[in-house]
Amino acid sequence: MSKLALKTFTLLQTVTSVGLSALAWVVTGVRPIWNGSMPSDRQRIYFANHTSHGDFILLSACLSEKERAITHAVAAGEYWGKSRLRRFIAEDMLSSVLINRQWTKPEENPIEIMLSVLDQGHSLILFPEGTRNMTEEPLLPFRSGLYNLSMARPEVELIPCWIENMSRVLPKGQFLPVPLLCRVVFGAPVTVAPGEERRAFLDRAHATLLALNPRPERDD
Amino acid sequence: MRHDISILIIGLLVVLTTASIVAAILSARAPKPLSSTLINLTQRINAWWVMVALMTVAFFFGRYGLTILFALISFASLREFVTLTHTRRSDHWVLLGMFGIIIPFQYWLVWTAWYGLFVIFIPVYCFLLMPAITALHGDTERFLERIAAQQWAVMISVYCVSHVPALLTLDVPGFEGRNLLLIAFLIIVVQGSDVLQYIFGKLFGKHRFSPTVSPSKTWEGLIGGLVSASLLGALLSFVTPFSPLQAACVAFVACSMGFLGGLVASAIKRDQGVKDWGHLIEGHGGMMDRTDSLVFAAPIFFHIVRYFWTV
């Protein structure tokens, strides 16, 4: 890519990220609640509940400009990679990392792709439920990516983040958001204990995230 | 008009500056780390600076500024109200209509001074159409509760709040072009009454007014606040079409309604199990935590002026 094109791209990404964060604030008044962790320059994997396309925008709106620039949401490749336009939005404008959940070729291995992003010193936003939660359950069981990433890069902090109200702002099948107040609760980092089994760790991370919900009875 | 407004603004600046100086002296003398009451006091005074600044800018832009400012206040209040209530997925279109149609239309009615529709658009048309839309969706679970919450949300956050800029549409003989001052009078007296009730309550409060709804409200605070706010109203009569005695009476009624508004807001918060409406203003909670008294006072004040002072 030429220098000019690269500059245009960086500018485009900055404008998009500032614009979306401002929009998220206008619509939801989003405010972070640091409950167990603090904003930091450390490399992190933020893992959150997933109910809406707006989730990662809300989460990244809570980060500082500097952190946001190096934090990438992990998104479904088979959805966002479907057309050139979607790929442009996801990869170029939102700087997401696309992974394919039904991968066949070794170079499509999601863990390898995410590790390569971490190895550049960047942070990730991960939705370990693997898909948007449309059920009555507050949180679906976790897939194993979180465990695999933590085993491979134990120095990266895993921060649980509960995103409140997004399912009411933008419910399934709707494209116009209802402006309701949202908060993102950032919990204390989770680490894999020595000798801890995959499932045991995932269940523990699941419970930690669920416990952050400030108004558990109101998730309807 | 400019002259009256300047006096009011200078008066407010003097009050706020005094408050900031007192808070700074208290903070400097108090043992460190500062108590949460002192931190909250400083936060509240700083928030007042921001609110007075915003209000001054809106006044500077006159009718445009005030109509837009109060439309935004309605937006923020409605957002807080709906966030607290129970909604279901099938309410999505009704909720969108509340933000996207009811707020703009009600403020357009204010702008065009269409009084006949302004007073009935929400309590008649919206109150009938909103449940009809929900019934058409076919989702009847907790139907009455959802509908009632939505109707009260638009009633308080949109209908009542819109009566503040609507004061600009009244024709008071001999007061032409000075209607902005009615708004200034209402806000200063009602918000002043809140602060005075708080001060009297802290200084002399012994007998609780309503322990089950709002433990911090006392008879001493209420009486001291209402009497002193009525006096404040009489002192401000020079900016209004009222005589000093009339101004004191109007202020008394408005502040009594304001007190009841605060009580109702507390009851709603208690019912929903929250302490504050939201987190918009540092040290003050949300928008509704600031405007609850103004919201109840505005329609009554509007009608008093309309029935007794317009032709």
How many residues are recorded in chain B? 311
At B2, the pLDDT band (50, 70, 90 cuts) reads: low
B56-80 mean pLDDT:
92
* ipTM for the assembly: 0.84
Nearest to B80 among A165, A174, A181 (CB): A181
Give yes or no for a contact between B150 and B98, defined as CB atoms under 8 angstroms apart: yes
pLDDT at B73 over 80: yes
With contacts defined as CB-CB under 8 Å, which chain A residues touch B76?
29
With contacts defined as CB-CB under 8 Å, which chain A residues touch B80?
181
Nearest to B99 among A29, A172, A179 (CB): A179
With contacts defined as CB-CB under 8 Å, which chain B residues touch A218?
86
Cα distances (Å, whole numbers) of residue B119 to B65, B109, B112, B116, B291 = 22, 9, 13, 6, 20
The alpha-carbon gap from A150 to the nearest alpha carbon of chain B, in Å, equals 35
Tell me what pLDDT residue B158 has: 98
Number of C-beta neighbours around residue B31 at 10 A? 6
pLDDT at B115 over 50: yes
Tell me what pLDDT residue B176 has: 86
B261-279 mean pLDDT:
87
B201-213 mean pLDDT:
88
Q: How far apart are CA B129 and CA B144, in angstroms?
A: 14
| Mean pLDDT over the full length of chain B | 91
The order of strands in the sheet holding A157-163 is A31-34, A183-186, A157-163, A44-48, A123-126, A71-76, A97-99
Q: How far apart are CA B48 and CA B282, in angstroms?
A: 10
| Most confident region among A212-216, B35-39, B192-196, B201-205 by mean pLDDT | B192-196
> Which candidate in A166, A175, A181, A185 is best for mutational testing of the B interface (most B CBs within 10 A)?
A181
Q: How far apart are CA A40 and CA B45, in angstroms?
A: 31
With contacts defined as CB-CB under 8 Å, which chain A residues touch B100?
176
What is the number of CB-based contacts under 8 A between chain A and chain B? 35
pLDDT at B129 over 90: yes
Q: Lowest mean pLDDT of A126-130, A157-161, B59-63, B116-120, name the range.
A: B59-63
Mark yes or no for CB contact B86/A220 under 8 Å.
Answer: yes
Give yes or no for a contact between A180 and A220, defined as CB atoms under 8 angstroms apart: no
B65-81 mean pLDDT:
95
Tell me what pLDDT residue B262 has: 93
Task: Sort residue B122 into left (φ over 0), alpha (ψ -120 to 50) or beta.
Answer: alpha
Q: Which residue of B has its CA nearest to A177?
A: B96
With contacts defined as CB-CB under 8 Å, which chain B residues touch A180?
79, 82-83
> Which candidate in B79, B82, B83, B103 is best for mutational testing of the A interface (most A CBs within 10 A)?
B83
Q: What is the pLDDT of residues B142-188, one digit of tens each?
A: 999 999 999 999 999 999 999 999 999 999 998 988 899 999 999 99
Q: Which two tokens stand for residue A211?
A: 């416990």
Q: Which two tokens stand for residue B110?
A: 């204010």
B108-112 mean pLDDT:
97
With contacts defined as CB-CB under 8 Å, which chain A residues touch B92?
171, 174, 178
**Chain A residue set in contact with B, beta carbons under 8 Å:** 29, 31, 165, 168, 171-172, 174, 176, 178-181, 183, 218, 220
Tell me what pLDDT residue B36 has: 80
Mark yes or no for CB contact A180/B89 under 8 Å.
Answer: no
Q: What is the pLDDT of residues B215-232, one digit of tens each?
A: 888 999 999 999 999 999
Q: How far apart are CA B275 and CA B266, in angstroms?
A: 8
At B98, the pLDDT band (50, 70, 90 cuts) reads: very high
What average pLDDT values come out for chain A (220 residues) when binned by 10 residues? Answer: 81 87 91 90 93 89 90 89 87 87 83 93 93 85 93 94 91 87 94 93 96 72
| A176 closest CA partner among B213, B225, B112, B101 | B101
Tell me the CATH class for A3-212.
Answer: alpha beta
Q: What is the pLDDT of residues A79-119, one digit of tens each?
A: 888 888 888 888 888 889 999 888 888 888 899 999 999 99
Nearest to A178 among B92, B279, B280 (CB): B92
| B255 closest CA partner among B203, B200, B185 | B185
Sign of CA dihedral A148, A150, A156, A158: positive
Mark yes or no for CB contact B79/A179 under 8 Å.
Answer: yes
Q: How far apart are CA A194 and CA A180, in angstroms?
A: 42
B75-84 mean pLDDT:
94
With contacts defined as CB-CB under 8 Å, which chain B residues touch A169?
none
Q: Is B33 exposed, middle or buried (0-12, 13-18, 19+ CB in 10 A)?
A: exposed
Tell me what pLDDT residue B190 has: 95
